[in-house]
Amino acid sequence: MNIRFFNARILSMVEGQDIFDGELWVEDSKITYVGAAMPEEEREKLNKKFTRNIDCDGNLLMPGFKDAHTHSGMTLMRSYADGLPLQEWLETKIFPLEAKMTDEDCGLLTKLAVLEYLTSGITAIMDMYLSPDAIAKACEETGMRVVQVSGINKFGPSLEEFEDRYNRLNGKHPLSSYMMGFHAEYTCDRELLEKLSELAHKYSAPMFTHNSETVREVEECKERYGMTPTVFLDSLGLFDFGGGGYHCCHMSDEDIEIFKKRSLTAVTNPGSNTKLASGIAPVKRFLDEGINVAIGTDGPSSNNCLDMFREMFLVTGLAKLREKDASVVNGMEVLKMATVNGAKAMGLDDCDVLAEGKEADLIMIDLKQPNMQPINDIPNNLVYSGSKQNVKLTMIHGSILYEDGKFNVGMTPGEIYKAAEAIQKRLF
């Protein structure tokens, strides 16, 4: 489908380009024009035909948000076992329940998460969870762009399956890819980590993991190895080809130097870290050191929602509290984290900004809602007062999957809710 968006404000996120009035064309899955409004006679000379012409009525077009860390299938555990610290919550509540889940469960629960992503303007997710084949299939069927990351740990899968998934799930579908990773230092023994390092070197692959999320995690790693998780993992060569860490709340100077040296991404998850009382990531320090910072929601059981607007507000709000400085981490910097920086972490270089030749992964923001008025500063409005109610349209790979409250994902919301409820009743 070829679509022309006109009468729009456009926030391209191209470095140095301010918000401007204009139009944007989508042909198949690509953006073919972004610029000033083009007179009809000029379009006719180009022989451009559009299936739809969408009048944006002065609303905002911008790149979709990139959720750089999530566990989609954990929609099952939303508001389940709340109020526990991270490792007790995982070991006594989450892991036992996950052991009962089937591949089919994970796929359906991922579809439930996709509905929520779309309403929040999220056009790509970096998902670490069980049943990667089922997750890939669910995302392909709904139209969600997914970058999966392995969560291998001492409980499984095997190294052979780890490598097979890496080779098999890359390039299988234009919306789906797979990256190397492991759950965390504390769920992997040294022998496993050393073998994962060998595979990272075999494929020159970046590596991602939960890292320095809690004080307990850091202190127990120091007791085991005499080093922080970041220093220990780097000593094994796991970050020789880049990658990153999720959470990164409790980072030493040496940890930060390693992130800088290895060009690692720090993916902050402020909603989850606040709810679990894990800590506040040193976001300002990361930015000052030139470290790429992206934003993730984490899973819907530790958050408990998949809402990038809430995460953006918390990123800047918590940074200001941590530094005791209201001027740090401004709105535009947060928008970069939620779009461009997330795309960089996920290897989605063709989905980062609105420009000719890029993937048509974009959202329309309703500026006519009361929380966007008056329009003094659009980036700050998005970060400080924006919400899901402002997302009018979400497009991925040139397809409109959500528009004015209606979904186009292959199943109705009611069908997905009913199936999820059946899973919940069976497993609980």
Is the pLDDT confidence value at 50 over 90?
yes
Return the structure tokens found at 269: 């998850």
Residue range 240-255: average pLDDT? 98
Name the pLDDT band for 78 (thresholds 50, 70, 90). very high
* pLDDT-based confidence at residue 1 (cuts at 50, 70, 90): confident
> What is the residue-averaged pLDDT of the chain?
97
CB atoms within 10 A of CB 247: 29
Shared domain check, 190 and 112: yes
pLDDT band at 90 (very low <50, low <70, confident <90, very high): confident
Least confident among 40-54, 260-274, 381-395: 40-54
Mean pLDDT of 88-97: 89
Residues 174 and 34 in one domain: no
pLDDT value of position 425: 96
Binned at pLDDT 50, 70 and 90, residue 16 comes out as very high
State residue 40's pLDDT score: 87
Q: Residues 142, 104: one domain? A: yes
CA 63 distance to own-chain centroid? 13
Q: Is residue 161 part of a domain?
A: yes
Confirm whether 357 is domain-assigned.
yes
Residue 89 domain-assigned? yes
Number of domains the chain contains = 2
**Based on the domain organization, do 141 and 263 belong to the same domain?**
yes
Q: Are residues 81 and 161 in the same domain?
A: yes
Instruction: For residues 128 and 245, state if they share a domain.
Output: yes
Domain region containing 391: 3-63+352-407
Share of the chain above pLDDT 90, in %: 93
Q: Is the residue at 373 inside a domain?
A: yes
Q: Closest by alpha carbon to 387, among 334, 316, 308?
A: 308
Instruction: Please check the confidence at residue 181 and state whether its pLDDT lies above 90.
Output: yes
Average pLDDT (360-387) is: 97
- Verify that 132 and 89 share a domain, yes or no: yes
Residues 339 and 370 in one domain: no
Interval 345-368: pLDDT, tens: 999 999 999 999 999 999 999 999
On whether both 82 and 204 belong to a single domain, the answer is: yes
State whether 290 and 395 are in the same domain.
no
The whole model's pTM is what? 0.97
Is position 396 within any domain? yes
CATH code at 210? 3.20.20.140
Among 305, 326, 345, the domain-final residue is: 345
Exposure string for 128-159, b = 16+ CB within 10 A, e = fewer: bbbbbebbbbbbbebbbbbbbbbbbbeeebee
Please indicate, yes or no, if residue 423 is contained in any of the structural domains.
no
Calpha distance 305→295 (Å, rounded): 14
Q: Residue 424: inside a domain, yes or no?
A: no
One domain for residues 149 and 112: yes
| CATH, residue 376 | 2.30.40.10
- 77 and 189 in one domain? yes
